[in-house]
Structure 1
Amino acid sequence: MAVNEKKRGRPVGKMAQLTADGILETAKCLMKENGKIPSIRALAAQLNVDPMAIYHYFENKNSLLEALTTSLVEGIYLPQVRSDWQDELKRLCVSYIAILREYSGLLQTMLSMTSQGPAQIFTERYKIIVSPLALAKQTEKDGLDLLADYLHGFALSIGCNPDESRIKTEMMNGPLALICHALESSRT
């Protein structure tokens, strides 16, 4: 009969280095391996702590999900101040698709969440990029909605295709050019 070496409560001694960032990094690794958000139990097992130790750092599973998805989306392209806003938008979109490709369960998780943390990051970066266009607020929002719907559809097509090499980011060039043209022609 095996003895469970995990201790209840907060980790002590060598494992006292358990941090919220450490938990998030482990969750990212498990997510990359398994293609889905790890359970609290799986995360605790990987960290060799009692599941309750994770709740010391995250109030509940939803707060862990919010922190994890936000942390992942923060890795997308940070716009630079350049004259070519279209190139900046393409860089943002390509990096977003790369994150969704790398963490296959991320999109489904974000779409099922009620919080807006991860979406807010993309939105803020999109607004930085299109700000030189001085779009009306509704036009800016409509452009964002169209872009997000397109990118999520593209990411879903990647997830549905067993041969990842068949769907390349270059395939986004035409649709992104069309979206950029629509935004450009909507300038106020």
Structure 2
Amino acid sequence: MTAGRPTTPRLTRDAILTEALALLDTGETVLTIRALAQRLNVTPMAVQHHIGTRDALIRALADHVLTKVPTETEGPPTQRLRALMQTYVQTITAHPNLTLALFRTAGPLPREAQRITDALESLLLAQGLSAAKARLWRDILIDWAHGMTLAQSPDDPAPALDALLQALTAHSAPP
């Protein structure tokens, strides 16, 4: 036996997030620091050193997943709004347990969730809505996306999204 610390595979934030997401995808309550550490073959303290608490892990996972949702696209605001919502729904549908875990996590929105929320509100303002109506429609669209995800609807969400966007267009049209 040699003196010093035992040698283990290099633990990285990316490796932790990859394994945590795989574990979370099997069930929302399955993801614990202890279970993650066991899966990574390290101590729970090693995971906490890189990530912190379970809540910090959930926020980091949300940032890791949501960073792939593009908010800067080409085209008119209605087309960009539809593209943003479709991509957001596809992304959160791939990991519904992340949405559930995020709902149970105290604190502010993760950075990437806030980026998407802000982009959505900007697109609604570009539709000609007042600030109050833009916030209302932002919340309606986000709630719809989460509802579609958590219901795990097997149907194509496009018709429901189109109906919402048509209602939005009616609200933003000049009188």
Aligned length: 168
How far residue 140 of structure 1 moved from its aligned partner, in angstroms, is 1.6
1:157-172 matches, within 5 Å, as 157-158=151-152, 164=154, 167-172=155-160
| Partner Cα separation in structure 1 for residue 78 and residue 88 of structure 2 | 15
Q: Structure 2: which 5+ residue stretches go unaligned?
A: none
TM-score of the superposition, structure 2-length normalised? 0.81
**Distance change >3 Å, CA 112–CA 151, structure 1 → 2:** same
- Could you say which residue in structure 1 is the equivalent of 2:42? 49
Q: Which residue does 1:104 correspond to in 2?
A: 96
Contact residue 37 and residue 44 of structure 2 kept, 8 A:
yes
Structure 1 residue runs of 4 or more that deviate by more than 6 Å after TM superposition: none
Partner of 1:146: 140
The answer to whether the Cα contact below 8 Å between 1:24 and 1:67 also exists between their aligned partners in 2 is yes
In structure 2, the residue corresponding to 1:130 is in which secondary structure?
helix
Structure 2 match to 1:7:
none
Percent of aligned positions that are identical: 23
Structure 1 residue 126, shift from structure 2 partner = 0.9
Q: Which secondary structure state, in structure 1, belongs to the residue aligned with residue 96 of structure 2?
A: coil
Shift of 1:141: 0.8
1:180 and 2:168 matched: yes
Which residue among 130, 139, 160 is the counterpart of 1:136? 130
Unaligned runs of 5+ in 1: 1-10
**1:77 equivalent in structure 2:** 70
Q: Structure 1 length normalisation: TM-score?
A: 0.76
**How far, CA to CA, are the matches of 1:12 and 1:125 in structure 2?**
47
Cα pair 1:73 1:121 within 8 Å, conserved: no
1:124 equivalent among 104, 118, 124: 118
Aligned partner of residue 71 in structure 2, secondary structure: coil
Q: Offset at 1:75?
A: 2.0
Deviations along 1:62-117, one digit per CA (max 9) or x if unpaired, are 111111122212222333142x2112111111111112221121221122222311
